[in-house]
Structure 1
């Protein structure tokens, strides 16, 4: 017997809640789905890409020395976040115009159209339109 499960959030360490919200909403076009004050400087902040409900990013402001050192390095220099789109060639120029830093020119792989970009902290992402 299997339960009905889904991945709801992935925690992303950030320097500052408000600068992260601004980047993910203004540059990537995500929606702010939650911003609750938990007291003592902590907040429950979730951003999510447009489209059907799915996994969101739980933004966690780094407070300890270890967390601060890990901001932008959670993927250890590898692409570890994947933003799927239904139209790569629609979204790529829009994101470029908003100032998103792409690390390569777009390419076609066996799995789809893709280009690697960095968020404001240096985390590497794939913008990906899967094939088929």
Structure 2
């Protein structure tokens, strides 16, 4: 048996703002953007070269969901973006005004730095050893 995680839902305040950040600033691919109703869309994005897990950009549709935007993990790093060239991607992200919360650091598992999307979600950018 083989299983994979196909998508992870990420609450966002607005579909188009989320696409602008993930596709425009991080360079992710827009995999799908399908209108499901007057207010709901199925929006999938993924890092370039990724073949399995996608992010489902889910626009909050009630107060409870809106209150959880940026804090789906209680303030911890939520998502981990692996790269084959930390310096290249870190430099491009800085050029695109992505907010890093720390300087790059070397850890036993690789080079890493925490960044935040404009909605408050914390990410690790990691080049694994």
Q: Same fold (TM over 0.5)?
A: yes
**Structure 1 residue 40, shift from structure 2 partner:** 3.1
Normalised TM-score (structure 2): 0.97
- Residue from 1, 4, 15 that aligns with 1:6: 4
1:115 matched to 2:113 = yes
Structure 2 distance, partners of 1:41, 1:12, is 17
Question: More displaced, 8-17 or 51-60?
Answer: 51-60
1:75·1:124 contact (CA, 8 Å) conserved in 2?
no
2:42 — aligned with what? 44
Tell me which stretches of 4 or more aligned residues in structure 1 moved more than 6 Å.
none
Structure 2 distance, partners of 1:92, 1:54, is 23
1:124 — aligned with what? 122
Sort the Cα spacing of 1:69 and 1:32 in 2 relative to 1 into closer, same or farther, 3 A.
same
Structure 1 distance, partners of 2:57, 2:50, is 20
- Give ranges in structure 1 of 5+ residues lacking alignment: none
1:37-58, Cα deviation, whole Å (9 max, x unpaired): 1013111000000014121100
1:17-68, Cα deviation, whole Å (9 max, x unpaired): 0010011001110010000010131110000000141211001000111000
Aligned residue-pair number: 129
- Give ranges in structure 2 of 5+ residues lacking alignment: none
Normalised TM-score (structure 1): 0.95
Structure 2 distance, partners of 1:54, 1:120, is 24
1:70 — aligned with what? 68
| RMSD, matched Cα | 0.7
